A = this chain, B = another copy of it.
Amino acid sequence: MATSTVEDYIKQIYLEQIDSIDGFVTMGRVAISLGVVPGTATTMVKSLADSELVNYEPRVGVRLTEAGEELAIQMLRRHRLIELFLVETLGLDWSEIHEEAEKLEHAISDRVLEQMDTLLGHPKVDPHGDPIPSESGNLSNELLMNLGNCILNQPLNIARITDQSSEFLQFVNKSGLMPGVELTVLKRESAADAITLHLSNGMSLVVGTLAGEKILVE
């Protein structure tokens, strides 16, 4: 059985792999996303390679194997279902659930997980708008526009928030930019690094490009 550390590495590598160009994740990225020093990442990745969960090319990077990807998607399903459960059933705030789910995803049995899934009515997205993989591992991955590249002056719906840090989610909450909210992008000024928005509730606000790119719309 995979230890909780192994599960963390695999999930994180999967997430990094998604937005990598060549499908390889560098040791530097692995180290940063797991909060360890580079040497630790190298050591650990080599041991993941021994367990056939990743392919490791020295001085190039890692890539998940079939088995690794399966495990990663399973962890993602756990994580997101738990997040939704914490919000829906236990009434926690969506900006405080990430860390919580991070711990619980290693402790909950399949039995309990499927019970949660049933109770929630087999949901498709978590509170951040991230898709929940199905039990068989399917992940609907239509690609969404973000506030930095979507059409201007057109009503759009917020679908997903891709930064799960508590700080960012609290900002999102305060500004009323939760998934489901309707908005229009009025203008983008690259020199000012700013995006001007108009919310359906009448509020207008300006966000930086970096922040805007973390908010996906459809």
Contact = CB atoms under 8 A, between A and B. Distances in A.
Interface in A56-91: 86, 89-91
A32 interface: no
A119 B92 CA distance: 12
B112 A92 contact: yes
Contacts of A107: 103-104, 106-107
Q: How many copies does the complex hold?
A: 2
Q: Output the residue of A92, A106, A112 with the most chain B CB within 10 A.
A: A112
Contacts of A115: 90-92
Interface residues of A, number: 18
Contacts of A96: 111
A116 interface: yes
Interface of A: 86, 89-92, 96, 100, 103-104, 106-109, 111-112, 115-116, 119
A90 B119 contact: yes
A105 to B, nearest CB: 9
A2 to B, nearest CB: 15
Nearest to A97: B112
B100 A111 contact: yes
10 contacts: A90-B119, A92-B115, A96-B111, A100-B109, A100-B111, A103-B108, A104-B104, A104-B108, A106-B107, A107-B107
